[in-house]
Amino acid sequence: MFFRRKGRLRQEYDQKLLTLLTKFKEQWNQEKVLLEKSFDPSEEVICQTKIIEAKYFFLLREVKQRNITLKK
């Protein structure tokens, strides 16, 4: 009984982790495009891009460590 719950909770959190990963990937791509198109990017935009990039790579490492795969 308890093992089923553990598996279900792991699947639930794995799914949340994957949705966060895709969300940060999209945000990072949008910020990169904005940074590339701007002539003189401000420090705030550069820092925001680096923060989102760091969050994305952190989540990517977590996904790899937990051996989660995307199911299409």
pTM above 0.75, yes or no: yes
Distance CA 69, CA 72 (A): 9
Q: pLDDT (tens digit, 9 = 90+) per residue, 20-56?
A: 999 999 999 999 999 999 888 889 989 999 999 999 9
The torsion defined by the Cα of 25, 29, 34 and 37, in degrees rounded to 10, comes to 170
